[in-house]
């Protein structure tokens, strides 16, 4: 009968256990794929604790070894299986992956990550200055990635299956809408400025329709129906890189609700569209993007303009305005959109109708971010209520 193996303290060692020359312990085992692995510990008690965890996972069919990949490796594996239809989705995936590469948390083995670790990681990102929306984007990758790991039996449960707003508060900054006086100053400046005049009609259209700037860039002649008095919104024009080459990309709007019609009831908006179409020079060759042509806004080379061109132009014009005036105007295409939405809400339009015109998927988006209340508006509305009610 073979003599039982013992450690230097005379304790009998089990199958797979051994004591190393430095006094530490090793346990060798086979995973569910029959691949051999080893774990180490300073004491026999610690080693046997690890053995129990390993055996429990093997009995449950969980691949303990697979859980040894890092968080970043898991994310890369998950993203390699995604085929995003929208360019912006692919950009977001790349952003998340590059951000996670810089985080020490993502070098951890996935089997060691607990729910409390996931919450601590998001709190750390919040303390580093990342917004709720950015952290939400990161979670939208980490949560399904760990769900994949759980389905593959690499981890027992998903450590990111918790509500994000229970960890950090969703307190989006309300973007400031332009007042009537600010709108007047802006339009007067653009109308009287040599460079500003080129963008006057664009600003009027954005203020009068609430279009996203990418949706404005995607408009073609066929989308503007003067007879029916409405604009068709069913696409957005972006510039991105595909196979390392910068090119124009035409996609459906941000959400399914982004496909909509916007009425042209404001004479200023109608006139602005007439000016844009009349001033549009037909290029030698019409660019066709995604099967569409005759885009309304072209650069000097006849190429359809994208958001960056308008954003840079408006930024330059606002810097010029602020140099020449005592007051300060902060205007972006987004702020023009927020102004449109805020004015509709202030005028008493039903929220579902406002959400439709804005292309929002739900009313909470409309109310939560895109409106900006004013004391004057609230005072006027309250005064109307006071007049109609009576106290006994």
Among 297, 308, 334, CA closest to 219: 297
Statement: residue 384 has pLDDT above 90 = no
Point out the catalytic residue in the list 48, 136, 275, 334.
Answer: 334
pLDDT number for residue 65: 63
Statement: residue 35 has pLDDT above 90 = no
List C-alpha distances in Å: 157 to 55, 66, 198, 267: 17, 14, 57, 59
Among 271, 249, 253, CA closest to 261: 253
Question: What percent of the chain shows pLDDT beyond 90?
Answer: 57
- More confident: 4 or 183: 183
Mean pLDDT of 44-52: 93
pLDDT number for residue 61: 66
pLDDT number for residue 158: 95
Place of tokens 């989308």: 223
Point out the catalytic residue in the list 254, 260, 275, 280.
Answer: 254
pLDDT number for residue 383: 61
What the chain holds in terms of domains, given with CATH numbers, is 17-64 (no CATH), 71-166 (1.10.150.130), 180-376 (1.10.443.10)
372 a catalytic residue: no
Q: How far is C-alpha 7 from the geometric centre of its chain's CA atoms?
A: 57
Point out the catalytic residue in the list 175, 183, 292, 337.
Answer: 337
Question: What percent of the chain shows pLDDT beyond 70?
Answer: 88
Phi and psi at 379, nearest 5°, equal -65, -45
323 a catalytic residue: no
Among 389, 240, 230, 361, CA closest to 307: 240
Statement: residue 216 has pLDDT above 90 = yes
Among 300, 320, 295, CA closest to 196: 320
Statement: residue 198 has pLDDT above 90 = yes
391 Cβ contact list (under 8 Å, min separation 6)? none
370 a catalytic residue: yes
pLDDT digits (tens, 9 = 90+) for 72-110: 999 998 998 888 877 778 888 999 999 999 999 999 999
pLDDT number for residue 30: 85
pLDDT number for residue 392: 40
Decide: 174 and 335 in contact? Cβ < 8 Å: no
52 a catalytic residue: no
Among 51, 53, 56, 81, CA closest to 149: 81
pLDDT digits (tens, 9 = 90+) for 223-279: 999 999 999 999 999 887 666 677 898 898 877 888 999 999 899 999 999 999 999
Among 139, 178, 135, CA closest to 327: 178
What radius of gyration, in Å, describes the C-alpha atoms of the chain?
30
360 a catalytic residue: yes
pLDDT number for residue 382: 55
Decide: 93 and 84 in contact? Cβ < 8 Å: yes
**359/206 Cα distance (integer angstroms):** 14
**Sheet containing strand 230-233, strands side by side:** 224-225, 230-233, 260-263
pLDDT digits (tens, 9 = 90+) for 284-332: 889 999 999 999 999 999 999 999 999 999 999 999 999 999 999 989 9
Using DSSP, state whether 201 is helix, strand or coil.
helix
**375/292 Cα distance (integer angstroms):** 45
Lowest mean pLDDT of 119-133, 279-293, 360-374, name the range.
Answer: 360-374
Statement: residue 391 has pLDDT above 50 = no
pLDDT number for residue 31: 75
Q: Indicate if the alpha-carbon torsion angle 336, 309, 269, 262 is positive or negative.
A: negative
List C-alpha distances in Å: 286 to 156, 219, 225: 57, 14, 21
Q: What average pLDDT does the structure give for the chain? A: 87
334 a catalytic residue: yes
Point out the catalytic residue in the list 139, 175, 183, 212.
Answer: 212
pLDDT number for residue 196: 95
User: What does DSSP say about strands 36-41 and 25-30: parallel, antiparallel, or unpaired?
Assistant: antiparallel
Task: Give the residues across from 251 on adjacent strands.
Answer: 236
Confidence category of residue 336, pLDDT binned at 50, 70, 90: very high
**239/254 Cα distance (integer angstroms):** 15
């Amino acid at each position: 009968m073979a003599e039982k193996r013992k450690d230097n303290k005379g304790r009998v060692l089990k199958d797979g256990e051994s004591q190393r020359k430095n006094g530490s312990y090793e346990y060798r085992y086979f995973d569910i794929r029959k691949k051999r692995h080893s774990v180490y510990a300073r004491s026999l008690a610690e080693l046997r604790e690890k053995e129990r965890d390993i055996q429990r996972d093997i009995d449950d069919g969980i691949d303990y070894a697979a859980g040894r990949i890092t968080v970043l490796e898991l994310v890369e594996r998950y993203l390699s299986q995604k085929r995003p239809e929208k360019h912006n989705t692919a950009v977001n995936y790349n952003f998340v992956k590059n951000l996670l590469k810089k985080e020490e948390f993502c070098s951890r083995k996935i089997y060691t990550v607990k729910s409390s670790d996931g919450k601590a990681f998001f709190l750390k990102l919040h303390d580093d200055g990342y917004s709720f929306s950015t952290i939400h984007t990161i979670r939208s990758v980490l949560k399904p990635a760990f769900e994949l790991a759980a389905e593959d039996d690499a981890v027992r449960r998903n450590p990111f299956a918790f509500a994000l707003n229970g960890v950090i508060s969703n307190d989006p900054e309300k973007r400031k809408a332009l007042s009537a006086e600010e709108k007047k100053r802006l339009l007067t400046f653009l109308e009287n400025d040599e460079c500003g005049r080129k963008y006057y009609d664009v600003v009027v259209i954005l203020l009068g329709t609430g279009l996203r700037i990418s949706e404005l860039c995607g408009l073609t002649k066929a989308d503007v129906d003067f007879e029916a008095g409405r604009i068709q919104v069913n696409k957005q024009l972006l510039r991105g890189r595909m196979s390392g080459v910068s090119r124009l990309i035409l996609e459906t709007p941000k959400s399914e609700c982004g496909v909509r019609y916007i009425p042209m009831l404001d004479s200023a908006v109608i006139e602005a569209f007439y000016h844009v179409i009349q001033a549009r020079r037909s290029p030698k060759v019409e660019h066709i993007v995604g099967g569409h042509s005759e885009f309304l806004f072209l650069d000097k080379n006849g190429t359809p303009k994208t958001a960056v061109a308008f954003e840079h132009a408006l930024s330059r014009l606002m810097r010029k305005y602020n140099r020449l005036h005592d007051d300060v105007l902060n205007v972006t295409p987004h702020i023009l959109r927020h102004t449109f939405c805020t004015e509709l809400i202030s005028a008493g339009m039903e929220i579902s109708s406002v959400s439709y015109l804005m292309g929002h998927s739900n009313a909470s988006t409309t109310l939560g971010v895109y409106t900006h209340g004013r004391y004057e508006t609230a005072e006027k509305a309250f005064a109307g209520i006071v007049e109609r009610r009576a106290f006994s």
